[in-house]
Amino acid sequence: MTRKGKWILLGLTTLLSAWAVHGQTMNTDNTYTSNIAISSMYSEHDFTPNGDLHKNAWRHCKWVRFDHDMSGQHNYPQAETRVASRWTAAYVYFAFRCNYSTLNVYEGENTLKERWELWNRDVAEVFINPNPSRVTHYYEFEVAPNNQWIDLEIDKTKTPFNDASWDSHFEHATHIDAKKHTWTCEMRIPLSSLNAPAIQPDTEWRLNFFRADGPGDDSKRRFMSWSTIPEGKSFHVPTRFGIIKFVK
């Protein structure tokens, strides 16, 4: 091999390593490869999250469910997750109903303060892209069973790609039912924070739902996604986002 060839090979190896570390994919055309879909029903009235999913707002929604790891190869029925969505002129709402075996949370911390690396404990997450043509730019919302939270703006063309200084002012609330081993979560995300145009019926965005669940190190925890990610290494694979369709 010539010296020039060696430098080219070294450059390609370095590039591939960097993409792997940062969760990037070598999908140069950024084509979406998932068609899984959820319908978000219109609501005339806004409501404040309180963690109670028995309210009328969620009664007639179409729920989606998942209990598999992100690769889709392993199922965890003890951690089944159900998700529904509503929308209004000002907000998009999400409801999570999460089964669990043992809760794993940061104890004794201020839940009003954003918690960096919240993903190292139990969380329900939504990654949402209101501008699907810009595949690598989206927003991340996480809430833990004890209502700790973090929101991030994601731009995978940058290093680092997650900006925690961004603040959506989203609202959230949780409830834990220890007898049924279920915790629930409601999120209310202002559309204005997403730099998105007003939602019209039949508008489609891209998103994915996730759970991180269980105690121990990452080898023992469960990392689950609604739309599967076959390589199973990172949640941050936006080409695998499913579809959210806003219906009225």
Is 15 found in the same domain as 75?
A: no
Is 120 found in the same domain as 135?
A: yes
The residues, any chain, with a CB within 8 Å of residue 187's CB and separated by 6 or more, are 49, 93, 94, 95, 96, 126, 141, 143, 170, 171, 172
Is 122 found in the same domain as 1?
A: no
Distance CA 90, CA 169 (A): 13
The single residue listed with the structure tokens 């995978």 is 156
Is 14 found in the same domain as 69?
A: no
SS3 track for the chain = CCHHHHHHHHHHHHHHHHHHHCCCCCCCCCCCCCCCEEEEEECCCCCCCCCCCCCHHHHCCCCEEECEECCCCCECHHHCEEEEEEECCCEEEEEEEEECCCCCCCCCCCCCCCCCCHHHCCEEEEEEECCCCCCCEEEEEEECCCCCEEEEEEECCCCCCEECCCCCCCEEEEEEECCCCEEEEEEEEEHHHHCCCCCCCCCEEEEEEEEEECCCCCCCCEEEECCCCCCCCCCCCHHHCEEEEEEC
pLDDT tens digit at each of 248 positions of the chain: 443 343 333 343 333 333 333 344 334 468 999 999 999 999 999 999 999 999 999 999 999 999 999 999 999 999 999 999 999 999 999 999 999 999 999 999 999 999 999 999 999 999 999 999 999 999 999 999 999 999 999 999 999 999 999 999 999 999 999 999 999 999 999 999 999 888 999 999 999 999 999 999 999 999 999 999 999 999 999 999 999 999 99
Is 181 found in the same domain as 67?
A: yes
The residues, any chain, with a CB within 8 Å of residue 120's CB and separated by 6 or more, are 212
Is 132 found in the same domain as 43?
A: yes
Is 123 found in the same domain as 4?
A: no
Domain ranges, residue 21: 1-27
Distance CA 19, CA 102 (A): 34
Number of domains in the chain: 2
What phi, psi does 184 have (nearest 5°)? Answer: -120, 155
Is 100 found in the same domain as 21?
A: no
What phi, psi does 181 have (nearest 5°)? Answer: 50, 50
Rounded to two decimals, the pTM is 0.88
Is 130 found in the same domain as 102?
A: yes
Is 191 found in the same domain as 93?
A: yes
Is 148 found in the same domain as 90?
A: yes
Q: How many CA atoms lie within 13 A of 151 on its CB side?
A: 19
**Cβ atoms < 10 Å from Cβ of 182:** 17
pLDDT of residue 29: 60
Is 201 found in the same domain as 86?
A: yes
The single residue listed with the structure tokens 């965005």 is 205
Contact between 174 and 145 (Cβ < 8 Å): yes
Q: Omega into 160 within 30° of 0, i.e. cis?
A: yes
**Cβ atoms < 10 Å from Cβ of 195:** 11
Domain containing residue 194: CATH number: 2.60.40.1190
